Amino acid sequence: MGQMSYIFDIGTFGDGSRRLDFLFPLLCLGGQDASGELNVAGHISPKSTYYAIFGSLMVMTAITVTVAFINLGSLNFPVAISIAIVKATLVILFFMHLKYSSRLTKLVCGSAFFFLIVLFGLTMSDYLSRGWFTAPNGTTGAGTLVNIGPPPPAPEGEAPAQALPAPAH
Number of domain units in the chain: 3
The one-digit pLDDT tens for each residue of the chain (169 residues) are 445 444 444 555 555 555 544 444 444 545 554 555 655 556 788 899 999 999 999 999 999 999 999 999 889 888 999 999 999 999 999 999 899 889 999 999 999 999 999 999 999 888 888 766 665 666 665 555 566 777 777 777 776 656 566 666 6
Q: Say yes or no: 106 and 76 in one domain.
A: no
* Angle, helix 47-68 to helix 76-90, in steps of 10 degrees: 170
Closest C-alpha among 8, 27, 29, 28 to residue 19 = 8
Q: Which pLDDT score is estimated for 155? A: 77
**What residue numbers bound the domain in which 67 lies?**
46-101
Contact present, 22 and 8 (Cβ < 8 Å): yes
In a domain, 24, yes or no: yes
Q: Say yes or no: 9 and 23 in one domain.
A: yes
Alpha helices in 69-102 (DSSP H): 76-90
**Residue 113 to residue 117: CA distance in whole angstroms:** 6
Q: Say yes or no: 51 and 88 in one domain.
A: yes
| pTM score above 0.85 | no
Q: Which pLDDT score is estimated for 8? A: 47
In a domain, 153, yes or no: no
Taking every pair of Cα atoms in the chain, the longest distance, rounded to a whole number of angstroms, is: 102
Give the long-range contacts of residues 159-162, CB within 8 A, separation 24 or more. none
Tell me which DSSP letter residue 144 carries: -
DSSP reduced 3-state for 11: strand
Q: Say yes or no: 95 and 114 in one domain.
A: no
Q: Say yes or no: 51 and 97 in one domain.
A: yes
Q: Which pLDDT score is estimated for 112? A: 94
Q: Which residues have a Cβ under 8 Å from the Cβ of 27 and sit 6 or more positions away? A: 4
Q: Say yes or no: 94 and 57 in one domain.
A: yes
Alpha helices in the chain (DSSP H): 47-68, 76-90, 103-128
Q: Say yes or no: 108 and 122 in one domain.
A: yes
